[in-house]
């Protein structure tokens, strides 16, 4: 059986990839094997891999709601686009929740030219520039050009002492070349599952700083209006007044039910 990848090419279905994805979401090897058996029985020729993984996590949700919750978080990050500004705002919020003083989209003077830096974060006397690379489709990775560009900007700013270090941040993953280059050059990386300790997923879950579009009533239009109103997380949604939410496009009659859903998300029970 051949399946259709996100890049449009066909490949033979590899059940082990599905099992690994399920295990990373917290399923035991035995449960991942059983769920993949169910998924494999529902495959058809040229089925999209995104549909396969959706089916896998929906099936897993029947056994382990927490895994579906984690899948919903990843999907919400992909749904922030197509523009990258909300992701920059969200990265700033995540860093702020971990004790950083952050500023967004700052114009900084380097040795040679000016640079608009997505996020400038200060903590323990050190200033770090974050270059955010957002993807709105699963399977897309940060490639070496992104790392080279980020490091060149870092050098220009570091030469005049504006920043001490730099980080390339993404909501997906990094190519092997990016990881190899970053380790050699001393460039920081922050991705969905990278580094092994302190990944974006781990930083989010540690402070329960879930994106507001995890709520089922937040479509793309309302998400952008909430973002414009400085509401980017579920926590901020809960703290917002009815008037503020209405101005952001949330229907008055839906506010209380969405707040209840938001409380469930914050409790981490995955019932959203």
| Per-residue model confidence as pLDDT tens digits over 176-216 | 999 999 999 999 999 998 999 999 999 999 999 999 999 88
Q: Name the pLDDT band for 161 (thresholds 50, 70, 90).
A: very high
Percentage of the chain modeled with pLDDT above 70: 96
In the chain, where does the domain assigned CATH 1.10.150 lie?
Answer: 212-267
- At residue 270, does pLDDT exceed 50? no
Contacts of 79 (CB under 8 A, 6+ apart): 136, 213, 220, 223
In the chain, alpha helices (H): 15-24, 29-40, 49-61, 65-78, 85-97, 144-158, 176-185, 200-207, 220-228, 234-239, 242-247, 255-267
Q: What is the pTM of this model?
A: 0.77
What is the location of CATH 3.40.1350.10 in the chain?
86-207
pLDDT of residue 167: 98
d(CA 218, CA 64): 24
Q: Tell whether domain 212-267 is in CATH 1.10.357.
A: no
Confidence category of residue 34, pLDDT binned at 50, 70, 90: confident
- CA-wise closest residue to 272 among 86, 50, 259: 259
The phi, psi pair for 48, rounded to 5°, reads -70, 140
What pLDDT is recorded for position 71? 74
pLDDT range class, residue 73, cuts 50, 70, 90: confident
Q: Which long-range contacts (CB under 8 A, 24 or more apart) does 64-68 make?
A: 64/25, 64/26, 64/27, 64/31, 65/269, 65/270, 65/271, 66/26, 66/268, 66/270, 67/22, 67/25, 67/26, 67/27, 68/270
Domain covering 86-207 assigned CATH 3.30.450.20 in the classification: no
């Amino acid at each position: 059986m051949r399946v259709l990848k996100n890049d449009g090419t066909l490949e033979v279905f590899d059940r082990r990839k599905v099992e690994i994805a399920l295990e990373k979401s917290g399923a035991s090897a035995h449960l991942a094997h059983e769920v993949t058996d169910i998924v494999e029985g529902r495959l058809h020729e040229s089925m999209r891999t995104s549909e396969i993984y959706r089916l896998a996590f929906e099936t897993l949700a029947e056994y382990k709601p927490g895994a579906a919750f984690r899948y919903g978080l990843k999907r919400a990050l992909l749904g922030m686009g197509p523009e990258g500004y909300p992701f920059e705002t969200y990265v700033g919020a995540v860093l702020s929740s971990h004790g950083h003083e952050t500023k967004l989209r700052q114009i900084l003077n380097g040795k040679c030219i000016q640079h608009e830096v997505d996020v400038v974060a200060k903590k323990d006397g050190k200033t770090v520039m974050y270059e955010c690379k957002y993807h709105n489709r699963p399977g897309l990775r940060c490639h070496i050009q992104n790392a080279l560009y980020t490091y060149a900007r870092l050098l220009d700013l570091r030469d005049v002492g504006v920043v001490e270090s730099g980080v390339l941040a993404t909501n997906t993953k990094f190519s092997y070349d990016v990881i190899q280059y970053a380790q050699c050059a001393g460039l920081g990386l922050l991705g969905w599952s990278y580094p092994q300790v302190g990944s974006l997923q781990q930083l989010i879950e540690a402070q329960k700083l879930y994106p507001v579009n995890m709520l089922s009533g937040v479509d793309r239009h309302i998400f952008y209006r909430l973002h414009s109103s400085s509401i980017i997380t579920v926590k901020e949604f809960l703290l917002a007044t009815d008037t503020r939410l209405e101005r952001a496009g949330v229907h008055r009659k839906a506010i209380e039910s969405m707040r209840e859903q938001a409380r469930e998300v914050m409790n981490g029970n995955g019932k959203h």
